[in-house]
Chains A and B, each alone.
Chain A
Amino acid sequence: MSNSERPNQLFRNLNAKIASIPMILTALVVFVGGTAWTVLYSFTNSKLLPRLNFVGLDQYHRLWSTSRWLVSIENLLIYGAISLVFSLVIGFLLAALLDQKIRFEDTFRTIFLYPFALSFIVTGLVWQWLLNPDFGVQRVVRDLGWTSFSFDPLYDSSIVIYGISIAALWQGTGLIMCLMLAGLRGIDEDIWKAARVDGIPAWKTYLFIIIPMMRPVFITTLVIIAAGIVKVYDLVVAQTSGGPGIASEVPAKYVYDYMFFAQNLGQGFAASTMMLLSVVIVIVPWAYLEFGGKKHG
């Protein structure tokens, strides 16, 4: 930019190049090299140590016929759908409520956002305690007199993933609210005035004017949520360790367990490659829409 007209740019920028070595190494060795390495080794039968003994798609065949992987994928889909829908809806509603020029806005925002400062481990352990059937919410309601009340998500394999989603929503909706609030604040006051003059009810203004105007905010939020969904790991480890049985397993945990416990590296690589693939499926269309036409620098 500033010195693009200079003739001997190569030498003038030597310091910048030296300073960028960590970035170049990270980009090339870790991100490109590491990813290529894992994808390559996912086609081998590596067990305890990585070996270049190609077996084609064997690892993937085995992966997709392992019930634990199938459960993981199913859980990820349910967890993903819940996270996506509820964090968008709750995040937007909270932001809309906070945007009504209310008093104590900062206090409310601080309260809604504080769980985001906590780690997934802390979140998982707190909710493990709250949902504990013998001491937690279930016991409290039963003590109130409703003795047949049953709310036991963490020990019921058919609904355990919902128990995890509750904790995830508690932790993450504050962030979405903040992003949405920033989006709402970016909307011109005149739009509201015009809608009020025309007598359009507030909910209609939100639904048909404001939300379509906030499209970019929604798209970035969507990408952030989606990227977080695929990575979900610590929360499950803390809250249920994948149990009961394998009912709350997720792909990231599958990868970790096969790489570092089961000593079946090939399976771990194949599973992580599938995770990469799912991200690519989400990110590429977005990147195409976002940066397709224009060239960004």
Chain B
Amino acid sequence: MADVASLSPGAEALRRGAAGPSGPKPRHVLSRRNIFLYGTLIVVALYYLLPLYVMIVTSLKGMPEIRLGNIFSPPMEITFEPWVKAWATACTGLNCDGLSRGFWNSVRITVPSVLLSIAIASVNGYALANWRFKGADTFFIILIVGAFIPYQVMIYPIVIILREIGIYGSLTGLVIVHSIFGMPILTLLFRNYFTSMPEELFRAARVDGAGFWGIYLRIMLPMSLPIFVVAIILQVTGIWNDFLFGVVYTRPDTYPMTVQLNNIVNSVQGVKEYNVNMAATILTGLVPLIVYFVSGKLFVRGIAAGAVKG
């Protein structure tokens, strides 16, 4: 492919340079292509890694060093104090118990939201794939189209609904909101997966007398663990990274980590402590980063499934 392009200048050089070496052409043309290829990739990779590097380096410096030096230089004296402060004593408004509160709030939001949204969506997808009833496809299409509606259009009606039920501002309310907005993409994911499973399996179970829930729990669920893992990855990162729903549907003492982080870093009071801010930022990004690096190819599969088919 690119050999074709890079061959021609080489041939040109041979024709012009009569004093060139004789014999079969060495394969250095290919290496020139490689230098360009890997050179470009490495430069781009460095650019992508730079912010992460700067975050880590800044969080390990003391404030005097930050004021003096440049942001790219490694710390002369490594200190973990900013990390401790970010976690335990950084202030948002009147609360000075650090990001730990936001972290645990996020855990208490993410775990039930992931479980509930996946439970609902997998059953939905299963019903759509194997037990289609009249009108089911209509609801499904509404659901998929709904995924494209800007959240801003629906946030206020949901505020009213939650207020009527009496759970506005609570973590339960936020969990329900996450389950609602996770539904389109997850339902699509599970529906497509269950549709691709061999039909004979379902038929055989029906002949043996298994019902809706029996087939789901004893056949579909155990056979589709990979797609459940993909859904979990998708949801954990998505819900952990959410900001809008957190800021709309919770109160200051139940703010998720992202909201609290933003309040800590962008607070106008006091002296800016950039090292603490960067430590707090890394702490907030740590959970999705760990999920990303551990899950590897599955993460890619998750976002590809979530994105391409949407």
Contact = CB atoms under 8 A, between A and B. Distances in A.
A278 B1 CA distance: 41
A112 B4 contact: no
B160 A1 contact: no
Contact of A23 (B4, B38, B124): B124
B139 A140 contact: no
A127 interface: yes
Size range of the chain B interface in the assembly: 35 or more
Interface in B85-132: 120, 123-124, 126-128, 130-132
Contact of B153 (A17, A110, A132, A273): A273
Contacts of B206: 2-3
Interface in B63-86: 66-67, 70-72
Interface of B is mostly: helix
A136 interface: yes
A28 B54 CA distance: 47
B266 A26 contact: no
A279 B150 contact: yes
Contact of B143 (A16, A27, A195, A231): A27
Interface in B35-65: 37-38, 40-41, 44-45, 47-52, 54-55, 58
A13 B84 CA distance: 56
B247 to A, nearest CB: 8
B241 interface: yes
A33 B154 CA distance: 9
B48 A170 contact: yes
B168 to A, nearest CB: 12
A23 B187 contact: yes
Interface residues of A, number: 108
A11 B181 CA distance: 30
A277 to B, nearest CB: 10
Interface in B239-273: 240-244, 247-248, 258, 261-262, 265-266
A51 interface: no
B223 interface: no
Interface of A: 1-4, 9-10, 13, 15-17, 19-20, 22-24, 26-35, 37-39, 50, 94, 97-98, 100, 102, 106, 108-122, 125-130, 132, 135-137, 139-140, 143, 170, 174-175, 178-179, 182, 192, 195-196, 199-203, 205, 217, 220, 223-224, 227, 230-231, 233-234, 237-238, 241, 251-252, 255-256, 259-260, 265, 268-269, 271-273, 275-276, 279, 283, 287, 297
Nearest 6 interchain pairs by C-beta: A119-B241, A31-B146, A15-B212, A16-B131, A34-B157, A117-B292
Given A22-B124, A118-B241, 9 more contacts: A27-B139, A37-B157, A114-B289, A114-B292, A126-B52, A139-B70, A195-B1, A231-B150, A269-B156
23 contacts: A9-B133, A16-B127, A19-B126, A32-B142, A34-B158, A97-B37, A117-B289, A119-B240, A119-B284, A121-B258, A122-B285, A125-B262, A135-B70, A139-B71, A140-B72, A179-B304, A201-B5, A202-B1, A233-B244, A237-B243, A273-B153, A279-B148, A279-B150
